Chain A
């Protein structure tokens, strides 16, 4: 049995502004085992980034609030981590890669500084010469010539910048990498290169990864497990085979797949199912998907569906009344 690395239990996150309360994440449950890659898929506004920021404890000050739930890292609840503890975790045990490499790097600091900084923070016993050598190694690892380390981010192309971002994220060989749409801002050809690099590195370093994406093609290529997120909840989750081969699916997932005629083709932003995501400031009753669901029943409008396992191994779960035993 694989060892549990990250376990999110009943996570509820809201953004409280003067005008409204946005329910971005609602009772989210997720497990990632050591070394495993979980794909988190969902439409824009589903709460994917919010979930990742909650793990990093990087939710916007004052507005972004974890209302309820637990985030366990190796069985330690990190939702209650102190300011100092969370700094020890960040960049060291958990790293995050953000969506846009163009803006993720500091324009006034050299690439070397930005990589060495994270090492110096977490590997306190490293001497200066060692740091410099390690930076060279890391740059080589992500496919960049170490000779360019004294340059500034604006002297690199988009793909190279994302390689630098990956270098920073993996410098301390974290146990968990959160990658928030790491390739959407890049050209298609470069996307493939970056994904390949990430896959290789995570295997080499035995890092677990939460890969946030809109692209089911990417998921099929590099993930072990998939979670489909809708309105801040996981509505279906399973091993890659469960999602791509099983005949049981949540109606929303079916919609996602119908939108892709051929799996080998990459898709852009997903907006496959007719209608819009429910307003996160005013969520519907019952099943959050019922307004858009073609199979909607009476019960769906009033009662929230429970999570059901579709197989005996309990690897594939669906949150939908269609799969209730008494149906």
Chain B
């Protein structure tokens, strides 16, 4: 198992390198002189020229990329053009907020999405089923920022129950988490439902019923674990995406997370921050994938056998 994890982590390296290369090159092609951005419009051409020399900006892009990678290995991802602070510490400062937000959304998706999906499948074509499918459809068709604004209007301004912006207490995370998780929740309901429906049709469910197992236990003990694989995938992917992808929502609710940092950096052409944020998201997704695959082996004994067998061979 450890060996498997090691292998997977090794495979991650070239992927991250590839992504960083592509992002580096694309950003290099966009107009704008970093030295000018750092020094501002009022600086003289001479001082800009000196700074360019200092930063090695006159070198070929490939050379600069390799320099970037070399520094990155030692933990130096460059400095923000705007604040002058190291990218890593900027990202680190934003991580807890993004993490709390993504966790909040995830919890909501899991505790609402999975049970609703299960009930929907167990009572297929019933009123409850129709109701949950309709809500899922509504959730997907609502634009995120609009939902965020509506929630803010209603719960903060009208009812004055929850704070609208900022990241000071856990209450501050409720509305943004709901907004961020809305789409994932809809996916989760539909995925759980279809996965459960698929499993319920299987022969071994009929076997369970033929043993005299009650319907509740048929669903919870016999069907759910088998339906879990696609559900775990959704949870993992959503979590990784939400960690870095809450750009619009973080901005709407004025949450200082990775997403709002990235948006701001893109607007101000703060290239090191943009690359740093994208690498962070890429790592988050890769690690999440790995975690999901490891959880798989606990859920499905067949996969565990495959992974352990693989290790014996190698």
Interface of chain B residues 293 through 314 with chain A (CB within 8 A): 299-302, 305
User: Is there an interface contact between A87 and B305, defined as CB atoms closer than 8 Å?
Assistant: no
Q: How far is the CB of B272 from chain A (nearest CB, A)?
A: 47
Given known contacts A105-B204, A108-B225, A90 and B299 CB-to-CB distance under 8 angstroms: no
Nearest-CB residue, chain B, relative to A107: B302
Tell me which of B207, B221, B305 contacts A104 (CB under 8 A). Answer: B207
Q: Cβ of A98 < 8 Å from any Cβ of B?
A: yes
Q: How far is the CB of B199 from chain A (nearest CB, A)?
A: 10
| Contact residues in A for B206 (Cβ distance below 8 Å) | 58, 98, 104
User: Is there an interface contact between A106 and B208, defined as CB atoms closer than 8 Å?
Assistant: yes
Given known contacts A107-B302, A152-B301, A154-B305, A90 and B207 CB-to-CB distance under 8 angstroms: no
Q: How far is the CB of A199 from chain B (nearest CB, A)?
A: 21
User: Is there an interface contact between A98 and B301, defined as CB atoms closer than 8 Å?
Assistant: no
| Contact residues in B for A109 (Cβ distance below 8 Å) | 221-222, 225
| Contact residues in A for B302 (Cβ distance below 8 Å) | 107, 152, 154
Q: Cβ of A302 < 8 Å from any Cβ of B?
A: no
Q: Which among B209, B221, B222, B300 has the highest number of chain A CB atoms within 10 Å? A: B209
User: Is there an interface contact between A106 and B204, defined as CB atoms closer than 8 Å?
Assistant: yes
User: Is there an interface contact between B203 and A103, defined as CB atoms closer than 8 Å?
Assistant: yes
Q: Cβ of A56 < 8 Å from any Cβ of B?
A: yes
Q: Cβ of A126 < 8 Å from any Cβ of B?
A: no
User: Is there an interface contact between B212 and A87, defined as CB atoms closer than 8 Å?
Assistant: yes
Q: Cβ of B226 < 8 Å from any Cβ of A?
A: yes
User: Is there an interface contact between B301 and A87, defined as CB atoms closer than 8 Å?
Assistant: no
Q: Cβ of A91 < 8 Å from any Cβ of B?
A: yes
Q: Cβ of A118 < 8 Å from any Cβ of B?
A: yes
Q: How far is the CB of A82 from chain B (nearest CB, A)?
A: 13
| Contact residues in A for B214 (Cβ distance below 8 Å) | 87
User: Is there an interface contact between B211 and A168, defined as CB atoms closer than 8 Å?
Assistant: yes
User: Is there an interface contact between B301 and A105, defined as CB atoms closer than 8 Å?
Assistant: no
User: Is there an interface contact between B203 and A104, defined as CB atoms closer than 8 Å?
Assistant: yes
Given known contacts A58-B206, A98-B206, A154-B305, A106 and B211 CB-to-CB distance under 8 angstroms: no
Q: Cβ of A88 < 8 Å from any Cβ of B?
A: yes
| Contact residues in A for B299 (Cβ distance below 8 Å) | 108
The count of chain A contact residues (Cβ–Cβ below 8 Å) is: 28
Q: Cβ of B57 < 8 Å from any Cβ of A?
A: no
| Contact residues in B for A108 (Cβ distance below 8 Å) | 225-226, 299-301
Nearest-CB residue, chain B, relative to A119: B211
Interface of chain A residues 50 through 73 with chain B (CB within 8 A): 56, 58
Interface of chain A residues 202 through 235 with chain B (CB within 8 A): none
User: Is there an interface contact between B211 and A117, defined as CB atoms closer than 8 Å?
Assistant: yes
Interface of chain A residues 109 through 123 with chain B (CB within 8 A): 109, 117-118, 121-122
Q: Cβ of B74 < 8 Å from any Cβ of A?
A: no
User: Is there an interface contact between B207 and A98, defined as CB atoms closer than 8 Å?
Assistant: yes
Interface of chain B residues 218 through 263 with chain A (CB within 8 A): 221-222, 225-226
Tell me which of B209, B213, B300 contacts A117 (CB under 8 A). Answer: B213
Tell me which of A88, A91, A103, A154 contacts B204 (CB under 8 A). Answer: A103
User: Is there an interface contact between B226 and A121, defined as CB atoms closer than 8 Å?
Assistant: no
Q: Cβ of B169 < 8 Å from any Cβ of A?
A: no
Q: Cβ of A92 < 8 Å from any Cβ of B?
A: yes
User: Is there an interface contact between B207 and A106, defined as CB atoms closer than 8 Å?
Assistant: yes
Give Cα A100–Cα B207 distance, bound, in whole angstroms. Answer: 11
| Contact residues in B for A107 (Cβ distance below 8 Å) | 204, 226, 300-302
User: Is there an interface contact between A58 and B212, defined as CB atoms closer than 8 Å?
Assistant: no
What are 27 A-B contacts defined by CB distance under 8 Å?
A56-B210, A87-B212, A87-B213, A88-B212, A89-B212, A90-B209, A91-B211, A91-B212, A91-B213, A92-B212, A98-B203, A98-B206, A104-B206, A106-B208, A107-B204, A107-B226, A107-B301, A108-B300, A108-B301, A109-B222, A121-B211, A121-B213, A122-B212, A154-B301, A154-B302, A165-B207, A168-B211
Query: A95-B210, A104-B204 are known contacts; what are 20 more A-B pairs with Cβ within 8 Å?
Result: A91-B210, A91-B211, A95-B211, A96-B210, A98-B206, A103-B204, A104-B203, A104-B206, A105-B204, A105-B207, A106-B204, A107-B204, A107-B301, A108-B299, A117-B213, A118-B211, A121-B213, A122-B212, A152-B301, A152-B302
Task: Please list the residues of chain A having a beta carbon within 8 angstroms of any beta carbon in chain B.
Answer: 56, 58, 87-92, 95-96, 98, 100, 103-109, 117-118, 121-122, 152, 154-155, 165, 168
Top 9 A-B pairs, shortest CB-CB distance: A91-B211, A103-B203, A90-B212, A91-B212, A152-B301, A108-B225, A106-B204, A118-B211, A87-B212
